[in-house]
Amino acid sequence: YFATGSGNDFLNDLNKKKGEKPFSIKKYIKHLPEVTVNGQKSKFLNGIGYGIDGYCCEIGDKKRNQSGKPINYTTIALKGLFIGYNPTNAIITVDGKRYIYNHVWLVPTMNGRFFGGGMMATPNQDRLNSDHVVSVAVMSCKSRFKTLMAFPSIFKGEHITKHKDLINIFTGHKIMVEFDRPTALQIDGETIKNVSRYSVSSSSSKVS
């Protein structure tokens, strides 16, 4: 693996820095989870972003098409939290157990810890864990201002301790996330528009 791109969430997850010599990633791609969106299945390396993260990728793609300037996803996210993005209601099913949330801002399912160019969405997720579980984080809050104030803590993974009233994290082998209206979603940074639901299966869930 040779680091390319702007975010390098995979590199961050391995505690490596851009510019290091290429290295083998064979052990990291042996048990990749699979996501199904609109009937299409694909493996993913880092994570699925749904909610404000998918919105950021959608807006970032538009800006990239309009100019060749670097995209600042943090600025897009903050503007979205302030006024541009509206939360949804969501049903999250983890290994058959159903959870219902209102005013949902973010529901990523993660194989690693990082997404969005440096946000540590799931600090305790280990991509090499022996059970091959993935982590899904749910950020829900009725107050736009409170959500905006809590959002920066995600960059250091402090949201899971400082904002327990806003954040819930589950681990499992089979995840399904359903929104009450279509929004954009990203798979390892690739945007898919108008998605109402996605499902994830870990390698062990498919074997069993």
Give the per-residue SS3 of 14-47: CCCCCCCCCCCCHHHCCCCCEEEECCEEEECCCE
Q: Is 196 helix (H, G, I), strand (E, B) or coil?
A: strand
- Mean pLDDT on 94-99: 98
Q: Taking residues 32-46, what's their average pLDDT? A: 95
Averaged pLDDT, 59-68:
84
pLDDT at 205 > cutoff 60: no
pLDDT for residue 204 is more than 90: no
Return all residues near 198 (Cβ < 8 A) that are at least 6 apart.
35, 36, 37, 48, 50, 109, 176, 177, 185
Res. 4 pLDDT band, cuts 50 70 90: low
pLDDT in tens, 123-164: 999 999 999 999 999 999 999 999 999 998 998 999 999 999
**Which pLDDT value is given to residue 77?**
87
**DSSP category for residue 185:** E
Contact 104, 170 (CB under 8 A): no
Residue 208 confidence class, pLDDT cut points 50, 70, 90? very low
**Burial of 114 per CB tally in 10 Å (0-12, 13-18, 19+):** buried
Q: Average pLDDT over the chain, rounded to whole?
A: 91
For residues 82 and 38, give the distance between their C-alpha atoms in angstroms, rounded to a whole number.
Answer: 30
Band of residue 33 on the pLDDT scale cut at 50, 70, 90: very high
HSE toward the beta carbon, residue 119, CA cutoff 13 A: 24
pLDDT, position 7: 62
Q: Please report which confidence band the pLDDT of residue 206 belongs to, taking 50, 70 and 90 as the band edges.
A: low
